[in-house]
Amino acid sequence: MDNNTTSFGFKATPLIALALCFAAFATVPFWAEKGLVFLAGILMLQIVFALSFNLIFGLTGLVSFGQAAFFAAGAYASAWLSSYAPDLPFVLTLAFGGLVGALLSVLIGMVALHRASGIYFAILTLALGQLIYTLIGKSTALGREDGLIGITRPNLNFGLFEIDLSRGDDYYYLIFVASAGMIVSLWWVWHGTLGRTLSAIRQEPERIRFLGVNVRRYREYAFVISGTVTALAGALLAPWSQIITPMIAHWSYSALPILFCLLGGSTRFWGPAVGAIVFAGLEHSTRNMFGMAELIVGGALLFVVLAMPGGILGTIALLRQKILSPAEGRPSDE
Partner 1 sequence: MVQISRRKVLHLMGAGVATSALSAPMYARAQSAPYKMGFVSALSGPAEALGRPMLFGAQLAVDEINAAGGINGRSIELHVRDTKAKPDTGTVAARELIGEGCNMLLGCVSSSVALAINGILKQENATLITAAAHSLRLTHEDFNRHYFRVTDNPYMRQRAQAKLMAELYPDVTSWGGLIPDHEYGRSTWEAYRHGLNTFYPELAGVQPTISDPILTQYGGSDYRNYIASALRDPAVGFFSSLYGGDAISLFQQAKPYGFFQKKAPFMDSANEFIAARAMKQELPEMWVGSHWYFGAFKGNEISDRLYNKYQEETGNKHPDGFVSEGHATVMAYAGALAKAPEGSTEEVISALEGLTFETATGSRTLRAEDHQAIKPVIIYRLRGADNDAGFEIMEYRVIDGAETIEDATPGQPVNW
The 123-142 contact track toward partner 1, x by CB under 8 A, reads --------------x-----
Closest CB to partner 1 among residues 166, 321: 166
Site string for partner 1, 91-120 (x = CB under 8 A): ------------------------------
- What is the pattern of x (binds partner 1, CB under 8 A) and - over residues 18-57? --------------xxxxxxxx--x---------------
Subset of 292-311 contacting partner 1 (CB under 8 A):
293-294
Cβ at position 22, least distance to partner 1 in Å: 23
Q: 49 near 206, Cβ under 8 Å?
A: no
One residue of 78, 130, 197, 245 binding partner 1 per CB under 8 A? 245
Binding residues for partner 1, rule CB under 8 A, total 31
Residue 78 contacts partner 1 per CB under 8 A: no
Distances in whole angstroms, Cα of residue 217 to Cα of each of 101, 113, 212: 18, 9, 12
Of 66-74, 208-216, 240-248, 320-328: span binding partner 1 (CB under 8 A): 240-248
Task: Name every residue whose Cβ is closer than 8 Å to that of residue 296 and which is 6 or more positions away in sequence.
Answer: 282, 286, 289
> What DSSP line would sit under 127-196, residue for residue?
HHHHHHHHHHHH-GGGTGGG-EE-PPP-EEE-SS-EEETTSTTHHHHHHHHHHHHHHHHHHHHHHSHHHH
Is residue 285 within the footprint of partner 1 (CB under 8 A)?
A: no
d(C-alpha 127, C-alpha 53), whole Å: 17
Q: Stretches 48-56, 99-107, 259-267, 283-291: which one binds partner 1 (CB under 8 A)?
A: 283-291
Spell out the long-range contacts of 21-30 with Cβ–Cβ below 8 A and sequence spacing 24 or more.
21/273, 21/277, 22/180, 25/176, 26/176, 28/172, 29/168, 29/169, 29/172, 29/173
- Does position 166 interact with partner 1 (CB under 8 A)? The reply is yes
Strands 243-244 and 148-149: antiparallel
* Residue numbers at the binding site for partner 1 (CB under 8 A): 32-39, 42, 137, 144-147, 149-151, 166, 241-245, 247-248, 287-288, 290-291, 293-294
